[in-house]
Structure 1
Amino acid sequence: MAQLEQFTTPADQVDSVLRRMRALGDGWPEGDGIAVFHGVYLTVTQEVVRRIAGGHFTDARAAATLDVRFAERYLAALDAVADDRRPPACWRPLFQYRRHPGVRPLQFALAGINAHIGHDLALAVVDTCHDLGCEPEALEDEFDRVGDLLVLLEERIREDVMPGPDLLQIADPLTHLMGAWSLDRARDGAWSAARALWALRNFPDLAEEFAQRLDAAVGLVGRMLLTPLPT
């Protein structure tokens, strides 16, 4: 990962990422699976900037560093695809199915959240620990507060892309997909994975193998979330 740019305040770090995300959001057609996820993630990033600037976090520098490293993982996946390189396995299903007519907007959103939280968040914690020279436990409060903001992402999805109650019936396969994935469980898994990766930091071969298996497992879940469904 590239070294963090030097900004005047922690909020400036996140604001730099925010400006790039806003620019990227203008380049995709409506209904594109990446655009669906990007829109809701942009909303959360904007809220992070607002809360860091407003003193919501006890350690603003740690919160900003974690949020920037978190966003960089997603932006790196976008860069890989733009450069005709393979993105991490967790992101591949979303890029492969992004224009599939049988995949609904809610599925795209869930698959993006699954990749970003299940894989990227764990690695972002480790990146942040290296940047700040601290143990994961020192970031737990910031992790929890950023995690609380991710709940806003889920709520935004429910407001913007979830079908109305007349369409989302109990027999609809989409109902079952929604119940098969949990944001809270993904957050818990990301924290456990981050701690395991940090514990393996002096064993690079094992750490790399663990990270690759995490990536593959999250990608498998994403592929199932993107199963084309009948309308």
Structure 2
Amino acid sequence: MEAVLARMRALDERLPERDGVAVFNRVYLTVTQTVHEGIAHGAFPSPRRAEALSVRFAERYLTAVEADRAPACWRPLLQYRRHPGIRPLQHALAGINAHIGHDLALAVVATCRSLGCEPAALEADFDRVGDTLVSLEEHIREDLM
């Protein structure tokens, strides 16, 4: 988990503040750090599974934004990341849409294959991530507005 957090922090330092990828990255970094802290403090039913899923999920995002040719779902964010008429909230939503709509299912499959389990085994940890998102929603919304 530390390696993906380090990559996300490095990306944050490297990108201009208003860059659309930087906007999404800040949101995602906040969530990932909070999940990491929750795992460390025993807030997840299966810390090993939660961390494996979190890492695979984050790696899909990082691979997409670092690739010469990202998956099609990431292209709206990547192509319009510097457009002055697009608001930070729109950048964040474009990243969330691509990441959850495309990357999540693939990360679940990859995690299950690596751990030798069925997707149902990740359900409780997955739900805990959802709870984490809800707890951060107001803070993130204020940052974006």
Range of TM-score over shorter length? over 0.9
The structure 2 residue matched to 1:87, chosen from 70, 74, 84, is 70
Q: Which residue of 2 aligns with 1:201?
A: none
**Residues paired across the two proteins, number:** 145
**In 2, Cα distance between equivalents of 1:150 and 1:125:** 18
Which letter does structure 2 place at the counterpart of 1:95?
L
Question: Does 2:54 align with 1:71?
Answer: no
Which letter does structure 2 place at the counterpart of 1:131?
S
Is the Cα–Cα contact under 8 Å of residues 65 and 78 in structure 2 kept in the other structure? no
State the 1:152 CA deviation: 4.5
TM-score, normalized by length of structure 1?
0.60
Root-mean-square deviation over aligned CA pairs? 1.2
Amino-acid identity (%): 70
**In 2, Cα distance between equivalents of 1:67 and 1:156:** 21
State the 1:101 CA deviation: 1.1
Which has the larger helix fraction? 2
**In 2, Cα distance between equivalents of 1:66 and 1:118:** 15
SS in 2 for 1:148: helix
More displaced, 143-152 or 94-103? 143-152
State the 1:125 CA deviation: 0.5
More displaced, 14-23 or 152-161? 152-161
Q: Which residue of 2 aligns with 1:51?
A: 38
The structure 2 residue matched to 1:110, chosen from 90, 93, 108, is 93
Highest Rg: 1 or 2? 1
Question: Does 2:20 align with 1:33?
Answer: yes
Q: Which residue of 1 aligns with 2:110?
A: 127
Is the Cα–Cα contact under 8 Å of residues 64 and 71 in structure 2 kept in the other structure? yes
Question: Does 2:123 align with 1:160?
Answer: no
Which letter does structure 2 place at the counterpart of 1:77?
A
Q: Which residue of 2 aligns with 1:60?
A: 47
State the 1:68 CA deviation: 0.3
Q: Are residues 152 and 93 of structure 1, via their aligned partners in 2, closer, same or farther at CA, if it must alter by over 3 Å?
A: farther
**In 1, Cα distance between equivalents of 2:24 and 2:111:** 24
**In 2, Cα distance between equivalents of 1:77 and 1:152:** 27
Q: Are residues 42 and 95 of structure 1, via their aligned partners in 2, closer, same or farther at CA, if it must alter by over 3 Å?
A: same
Unmatched tracts of structure 2, length 5 or more: none
**In 1, Cα distance between equivalents of 2:7 and 2:45:** 26
Q: Which residue of 2 aligns with 1:19?
A: 6
Q: Are residues 118 and 154 of structure 1, via their aligned partners in 2, closer, same or farther at CA, if it must alter by over 3 Å?
A: farther
Runs (4 or more) in structure 1 with deviation over 4 Å come to none
SS in 2 for 1:91: helix
Q: Which residue of 2 aligns with 1:208?
A: none
Q: Are residues 66 and 138 of structure 1, via their aligned partners in 2, closer, same or farther at CA, if it must alter by over 3 Å?
A: same
